[in-house]
Amino acid sequence: MSERRGYYTDTTDEQWALIEPVIAAWKAQHSSVSGHTGRYAMRGIVDALIYQNRTGCQWSLLPGDFPPASAVKYYFYRWRDDGLDQVICELLRCQVRERAGRAEDPSLVVLDAQSVHAAVNLHASTTGKDAGKKVPGRKHGIAVDVIGLIIAVVVMAASVHDNAIGTALLDKLATTTSTVSKGLVDQGFKNTVVEHGREIGIDVEIVERNPADTGFVPQPIRWKVEQTLGTLMLHRRLTRDYEGNPRSSESRIYWVISSIMIRRLTATSAPTWRGL
């Protein structure tokens, strides 16, 4: 194999140091019975995932100087199933919040969902058509804190009502953190979400749009979730849902926000979409 080229999406030494201990600990807990430690460096696997998320390329089109696509795919699915993607995301989120002078866990979150088109090869049982936005595909639901960091992710068929997305997000929040007491949603969510929030101790408020407003008008605090959804769309693997398993779509989102947070923690900027 030729010498590694290096891509602007690659982690720097400082960035890798933020997540390497977590992956090393996972690796130690999943050692081979024969003692084999694996042929490929974990940093190369992570760099390949970040590259794929940003560029949107297929598994088979990963550049040859990354570890083989079969190895990258293997770890992506293993880390997804073991929840390592969420562990890394939570660790980084706590560090970003502390650096911003906030507590590790939020008390207020904002919920929203975005419908995206699905690839043609996805099974019909996991996709549907958003009746309102006329988008055939899946809904990506997220809950973020007041600085736009993702706390929970849910991916379902686009035909699913926002109430189901909101209820699932609230359940995830309840198991992820015990500090959330307030949630903001838009008018796409109904009283079902408000009532479910009340049952689990989260006060959900439906933010009403001013009838006099025309076009897109950012709502105080709630606009942060819109900003995060827009940032996710800068990563081409998320502009359309290509994942056979919705859980893989959730994992992609966790990895994307994690790559954003390691840049924030190391004061490293990324090229804009205009340079892609």
Which three-class secondary structure state does DSSP give residue 95?
Answer: helix
Note whether residue 272 is domain-resident.
Answer: no
Count of the separate structural domains present in the chain: 1
Note whether residue 32 is domain-resident.
Answer: no
The pairing of strands 182-185 and 136-144 is: unpaired
pLDDT digits (tens, 9 = 90+) for 68-120: 999 999 999 999 999 999 999 999 999 999 999 999 999 999 999 999 999 99
Note whether residue 209 is domain-resident.
Answer: yes
Mean pLDDT in the chain?
92
Alpha helices in 100-190 (DSSP H): 162-176
pLDDT digits (tens, 9 = 90+) for 137-167: 999 999 999 999 999 999 999 999 999 999 9
Residue 118 near residue 240 (C-beta atoms within 8 A): yes
Which three-class secondary structure state does DSSP give residue 190?
Answer: coil
The pLDDT-based confidence of 272 (bands split at 50, 70, 90) is low
- Its pTM surpasses 0.95: no
Higher pLDDT among residues 24 and 1, named by residue: 24
Distance CA 231, CA 68 (A): 29
- Give the pair of three-digit tokens for residue 114: 């975005």
Q: Which residue has the tokens 């991916």?
A: 155
- Bridge partner list, 184: 110, 205
| Per-residue model confidence (pLDDT) at position 6 | 82
Pick from 91, 80, 93: which is nearest to 20 by CA?
Answer: 91
Note whether residue 207 is domain-resident.
Answer: yes
What's the whole-number mean pLDDT along residues 212-231? 84
| Per-residue model confidence (pLDDT) at position 98 | 96
CA distances from 247 to 80, 82, 256 (A): 8, 12, 14
The pLDDT-based confidence of 218 (bands split at 50, 70, 90) is confident
Note whether residue 158 is domain-resident.
Answer: yes
**For helices 246-265 and 69-82, angle between their N-to-C axes, nearest 10 degrees:** 90
Residue 161, domain CATH: 3.30.420
Pick from 35, 33, 42, 56: which is nearest to 236 by CA?
Answer: 56
| Per-residue model confidence (pLDDT) at position 136 | 95
Note whether residue 268 is domain-resident.
Answer: no
Note whether residue 172 is domain-resident.
Answer: yes
Pick from 259, 267, 253: which is nearest to 16 by CA?
Answer: 259
Neighbours of 6 (CB within 10 A): 9
| Per-residue model confidence (pLDDT) at position 269 | 74
Residue 225 near residue 142 (C-beta atoms within 8 A): yes
Distance CA 65, CA 68 (A): 8
The whole domain housing 146 covers 103-242
What's the whole-number mean pLDDT along residues 256-276? 81
Residue 98 near residue 172 (C-beta atoms within 8 A): no
pLDDT digits (tens, 9 = 90+) for 160-195: 999 999 999 999 999 989 999 999 999 889 999 999
| Per-residue model confidence (pLDDT) at position 36 | 60
| Per-residue model confidence (pLDDT) at position 1 | 43
Neighbours of 30 (CB within 10 A): 11
Give the side-chain half-sphere CA count within 13 A for 135: 18
pLDDT at position 20 over 60: yes
In the chain, the percentage of residues whose pLDDT exceeds 70 is 92
Residue 92 near residue 151 (C-beta atoms within 8 A): no
Note whether residue 211 is domain-resident.
Answer: yes
Neighbours of 154 (CB within 10 A): 25
| Per-residue model confidence (pLDDT) at position 274 | 54
pLDDT at position 270 over 80: no
